[in-house]
Amino acid sequence: MGYPHKSHPRETPILSKHFGEPEARTLEGWKARGGYKALAQALHMEPVAIQEIVKASGLRGRGGAGFPTGLKWSFMKIGDGKPHYLCANADESEPGTFKDREIMRWTPHALIEGCAIAAHAIGAETAYIYIRGEFTEPINVMEAALVEARAAGIIGKNAMGSGRRVDVWVHKGAGAYICGEETALMNSLEGKRGNPRIKPPFPAVSGLFGMPTTINNVETLAAVPHILNNGAEWYKAMCLSNPKSTGSKLYSVCGNVAKPGNYEVVMGFSFKEFLYDLCGGPLPGRKFKALIPGGSSVPTITIEEAEATIMDYEGFVAQGTMLGSGGVIVFDDAQSMPRQLARIARFYAHESCAQCTQCREGTAWMTKILERIVAGEGTFEDLDTIFDLSEAMTGKTICVLSDSCGAPVVSGITKFRGEFEALIKGRRSSTVAVGAR
């Protein structure tokens, strides 16, 4: 469903099928929609068998990195005698992204079921759903659904009578974008500052409380029950282009577009059709100019590049950007790219955890330069400085927040250099004018 709009016939609503239906939030309503059949089946399967089905489906992480989910699960050594943990990453804070919020507030049991299946598949008895603190409504909906699921014995010490223990708890964050980074999330859950950790060790070896841990995005987990119900082949068949990208994907569309909202399409869909047909095209009298298609951390592309894009992991890479979280930010011809990119840089400067020098200093410096240019006080050398700076900020820090600041900015300057130069030249001409008086 193109929530909050009516579903478009070209969508493939699987995760979003019940968005907007209040009854789907209740246990009874969810069971009436086929809920918890997959979990009942999974609890009587060997963990490795579940991993194999998910591997065969081709499901890849929907949080941004696109790592194969079944493979990630297989890194967990079943029977090593240690407690294992699952974390559901519901810290959705990537600018442009608002899909997990809808999954949680409309279909909380889909996430609970996905968590319980995944927990069993990785040999964990406990799953924590880490939800950003601002998401009060999704937290309340999730808590209410968990109370129902616990009371019905679906989760708990004897999940669905299987003799297996599966506990699922909500953990509320307190405002920090960086806690969506998986190691920062674990630190935050442990009651620490949300600083990312150096890897290795990777979470599957030493994660939450020092124990083997898997972190999956909400959308990834919500897809798992469907895969178990319908089979890996069914999921794999949802692919119009590259076989490495399978299934349906929720895209959050926002910015200067006629119908902002969430849209679910199969992998390999045409971005041109998506933007002009499903999302209703630009606002009246406007034209699309640029997009940041995977949440604000990925490179900026022009509308011409977007129109040539195939919507899957490889298709976005082919246009020099990334699918990321699927948060599509659209800018039309009335927007100033320097102003928008300065605002994005400010976001990263605000959210830097400040552990690494390149990030702490770099994000703030880049913001300062961009805001100077926007204010009409920039120089041509400033553009060179930004390129140098971005290079020093990329691939040199504990996590990728620093890289994420440079990616949309540098690509944006490269593709819309004229707008930056006009602001800089404007400064020079006004200086001349003042001098001439």
Partner 1 sequence: MSHGPSAPGVAASAHAHDAPYEPVFTPGSARSKELADLITRYPDKRAALLPALWMVQNDRGWISEAAMMEVGDQLGCTAAYVKGVVTFYTMYHQHPVGKHFIQVCTTSPCLCAGADKVVEAFLEHTGCKELGLTSADGRYTVIEVECLGACGFATPVQINEDYVENVTPEKVPEILAGLP
Q: Which residues bind partner 1 (CB under 8 A)?
A: 4, 83, 92-98, 100-101, 126, 132-137, 167, 169, 171-177, 188-194, 209, 252-256, 260-262, 292, 296, 327, 329-331, 335, 339-340, 343-344, 347, 350-351, 353
Q: Minimum CB separation from partner 1 for residue 306, in Å?
A: 16
Name the residue nearer to partner 1 (CB basis): 74 or 97: 97
Rounded CA-CA distance 394/396 in Å is: 6
Q: Are the C-beta atoms of residues 110 and 14 closer than 8 Å to each other?
A: no
Residue 227, Cβ neighbours under 10 Å: how many? 26
Name the residue nearer to partner 1 (CB basis): 116 or 329: 329
79 conformational bin, left if phi > 0, alpha if psi -120 to 50, beta if neither: left
Rounded CA-CA distance 250/15 in Å is: 8
Name the residue nearer to partner 1 (CB basis): 16 or 51: 16
Name the residue nearer to partner 1 (CB basis): 227 or 250: 250
- CA-wise closest residue to 384 among 363, 410, 404: 410
Q: Are the C-beta atoms of residues 58 and 243 closer than 8 Å to each other?
A: yes
Q: Minimum CB separation from partner 1 for residue 342, in Å?
A: 10
Rounded CA-CA distance 37/226 in Å is: 10
Q: Minimum CB separation from partner 1 for residue 91, in Å?
A: 9
Q: Minimum CB separation from partner 1 for residue 294, in Å?
A: 13
Both tokens of residue 200? 């290795």
Rounded CA-CA distance 98/334 in Å is: 24
Name the residue nearer to partner 1 (CB basis): 57 or 195: 195
Q: Minimum CB separation from partner 1 for residue 217, in Å?
A: 13
- CA-wise closest residue to 72 among 198, 182, 203: 203
Residue 401, Cβ neighbours under 10 Å: how many? 24
Q: Are the C-beta atoms of residues 315 and 244 closer than 8 Å to each other?
A: no
Residue 285, Cβ neighbours under 10 Å: how many? 8
Name the residue nearer to partner 1 (CB basis): 221 or 409: 409
Name the residue nearer to partner 1 (CB basis): 50 or 278: 278
Residue 375, Cβ neighbours under 10 Å: how many? 12
* Amino acid code (one letter) for 340: Q
Name the residue nearer to partner 1 (CB basis): 175 or 243: 175
Q: Minimum CB separation from partner 1 for residue 187, in Å?
A: 10
- Burial-class residue 22 by CB neighbours within 10 Å (0-12, 13-18, 19+): exposed
Name the residue nearer to partner 1 (CB basis): 41 or 336: 336
Q: Minimum CB separation from partner 1 for residue 411, in Å?
A: 15
Q: Minimum CB separation from partner 1 for residue 429, in Å?
A: 26
Q: Minimum CB separation from partner 1 for residue 263, in Å?
A: 10
> In whole angstroms, how far apart are CA 153 and each of 122, 124, 127, 160, 381?
21, 17, 16, 6, 65
Rounded CA-CA distance 270/310 in Å is: 5
